């Protein structure tokens, strides 16, 4: 991981300053995809979309926070920028923070509501990613209501949303509907669909690993080999044509 500049932001509620660390390069080794669609890179801090202000405790979309400038890695701010040197980093939002964001009206339209609900769900599911508990799905009323609303919002969505929907249905134990939702996926999502079908057939509601990096690498290698074979065949049949003509 190679750090990039720290961006200096002002809270849109109280104007308190904070810094947003960025990264110029992130090593993709060990990437993991989860059944809820969350993709994890071990050791890499999450790039937040909604953060909590350290001064007023309100939450806000990073995208609407005024950006005052930046400090490059190792740079020490001087003059007017000296105050930037010791700013706290923005605090990424947890599950409770996303519920707060929904209550405080940060969802101005349905796509934003869906984004906040998916992130609330992911941050709630985080507690199950490194655990072997028998129960690894939402059990508290607010998290269940969130998953139910997420299912409503993804009713006529595209493929990625179909996977969110099927997973939320499966986590709520609505296996028949989860299986039906998977019909909405095109063949690009075969592997994810098969994994979901296995879990549904096993009657599992638990959050699980969808793909490891090894699976993705193996698939990429298989695809490459198939393309090479196809090209070799196409070239040899071109040769045949030349001979015939």
Helix (H, G, I), strand (E, B) or coil at 107: coil
- Cα–Cα distance for residue pair 216/11, rounded to 1 Å: 40
* Range list of β-strands (E), 144-216: 209-212
Q: In whole angstroms, how close is the CB of 206 to Zn ion at the nearest point? A: 38
Q: In whole angstroms, how close is the CB of 51 to Zn ion at the nearest point? A: 10
11 binds Zn ion (CB under 5 A): yes
The continuous run of DSSP H or E covering 241 comes out as helix 213-244
User: Given the complex with Zn ion, which of 51 and 114 has the nearer CB atom?
Assistant: 51
Q: In whole angstroms, how close is the CB of 105 to Zn ion at the nearest point? A: 16
Q: Of the ranges 31-39, 53-61, 75-83, 225-233, which one interacts with Zn ion (CB under 5 A)?
A: 53-61
55 binds Zn ion (CB under 5 A): yes
Q: Are residues 222 and 214 in contact, defined by beta-carbon separation less than 8 angstroms?
A: no
56 binds Zn ion (CB under 5 A): yes
- Cα–Cα distance for residue pair 142/198, rounded to 1 Å: 28
Measure CA 140 to chain center.
Answer: 22
- Cα–Cα distance for residue pair 80/195, rounded to 1 Å: 55
Q: Of the ranges 6-14, 39-47, 79-87, 121-129, which one interacts with Zn ion (CB under 5 A)?
A: 6-14
Helix (H, G, I), strand (E, B) or coil at 66: coil
Helix (H, G, I), strand (E, B) or coil at 212: strand
Q: For Cα atoms 127, 51, 113, give the angle at the middle one, nearest 5 degrees.
A: 80
User: Given the complex with Zn ion, which of 19 and 165 has the nearer CB atom?
Assistant: 19
Q: In whole angstroms, how close is the CB of 88 to Zn ion at the nearest point? A: 12
Binding positions for Zn ion, 13-52, rule CB under 5 A: 13-14, 16
Q: Of the ranges 54-62, 127-135, 136-144, 233-241, which one interacts with Zn ion (CB under 5 A)?
A: 54-62
Find all residues with CB under 8 Å of 87, minimum gap 6, and list them.
6, 8, 17, 18, 19
User: Given the complex with Zn ion, which of 49 and 215 has the nearer CB atom?
Assistant: 49
Q: Of the ranges 9-17, 33-41, 141-149, 168-176, which one interacts with Zn ion (CB under 5 A)?
A: 9-17
- Cα–Cα distance for residue pair 67/70, rounded to 1 Å: 8
54 binds Zn ion (CB under 5 A): no
202 binds Zn ion (CB under 5 A): no
Q: In whole angstroms, how close is the CB of 9 to Zn ion at the nearest point? A: 10
Q: What number of chain residues touch Zn ion (CB under 5 A)?
A: 7
Q: Which residues bind Zn ion (CB under 5 A)?
A: 11, 13-14, 16, 53, 55-56
């Amino acid at each position: 991981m190679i750090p990039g500049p720290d961006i200096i932001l002002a809270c849109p509620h109280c104007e308190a300053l904070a810094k947003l660390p960025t990264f110029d390069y992130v090593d993709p080794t060990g990437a993991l995809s989860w059944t809820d669609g969350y993709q994890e890179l071990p050791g890499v801090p999450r790039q937040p979309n909604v953060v909590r202000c350290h001064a007023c405790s309100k939450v806000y979309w990073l995208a609407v926070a005024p950006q005052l400038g930046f400090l490059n890695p190792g740079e020490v701010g001087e003059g007017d920028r000296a105050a930037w040197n010791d700013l706290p980093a923005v605090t990424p939002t947890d599950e409770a923070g996303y519920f707060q964001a929904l209550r405080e009206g940060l969802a101005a339209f349905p796509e934003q509501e869906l984004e906040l609900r998916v992130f609330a769900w992911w941050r709630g599911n985080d507690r199950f990613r490194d655990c072997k508990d028998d129960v690894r799905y939402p059990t508290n009323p607010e998290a269940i209501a969130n998953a139910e609303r997420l299912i409503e919002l993804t009713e006529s969505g595209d493929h990625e949303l179909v996977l969110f929907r099927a997973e939320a249905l499966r986590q709520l134990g609505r296996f028949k509907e989860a299986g039906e939702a998977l019909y909405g996926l095109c063949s690009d999502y075969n592997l994810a669909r098969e994994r979901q079908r296995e879990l549904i057939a096993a009657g599992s509601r638990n959050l699980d690993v969808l793909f490891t990096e090894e699976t993705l690498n193996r698939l990429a290698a298989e695809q490459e080999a198939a393309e090479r074979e196809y090209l070799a065949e196409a070239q040899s049949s071109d040769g045949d044509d030349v001979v015939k003509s």
